[in-house]
Amino acid sequence: MDLQRLASVARLHLAELSSEHQTEVLALLGAELEVTGPVPAKPPAGSPGAWFLENQVRIPALTDEEWGLVEPVLKALDSGRGPKQLPKRGVLEAIFLKARTGMRWEDLPERYGKPASIRQRWNRWSKSGTWEQIMAPLKGAPGDVPPLLPPIEMRGRLDPRALIGHMAAPGNSVPVEPLWGPRGFDMASLDHAMWFHRPFRADEWFLYEQESPVATGGRGLARGRIYDREGRMLVSVVQEGLFRSLG
In a domain, 242, yes or no: yes
Q: Give the tens place of pLDDT for each residue, 56-103.
A: 888 888 888 888 888 888 888 765 554 444 568 888 999 998 888 888
pLDDT for the residue 142: 78
Last residue of a domain, one of 96, 128, 144: 144
In a domain, 245, yes or no: yes
- pTM of the full predicted structure? 0.47
Q: d(Cα 191, Cα 189) in Å, to the nearest integer?
A: 6
Helices (H), 78-114: 88-101
pLDDT for the residue 29: 62
Ranges of residues in the chain with a pLDDT under 50 are 1-3, 82-85, 164-181
In a domain, 216, yes or no: yes
In a domain, 6, yes or no: no
pLDDT for the residue 232: 84
pLDDT for the residue 226: 92
Specify whether the CB–CB gap between 106 and 115 falls below 8 A. Answer: yes
Q: How far apart are the first and last CA of the chain?
A: 21
Instruction: Name the residue range of residue 84's domain.
Output: 48-144
pLDDT for the residue 87: 63
In a domain, 224, yes or no: yes
In a domain, 206, yes or no: yes
| CATH assignment of the domain containing 204 | 3.10.129.10
- How many domains does the chain fold into? 2
In a domain, 20, yes or no: no
Claim to verify: residue 134 and residue 55 sit in the same structural domain: yes
Claim to verify: residue 53 and residue 140 sit in the same structural domain: yes
pLDDT for the residue 244: 75
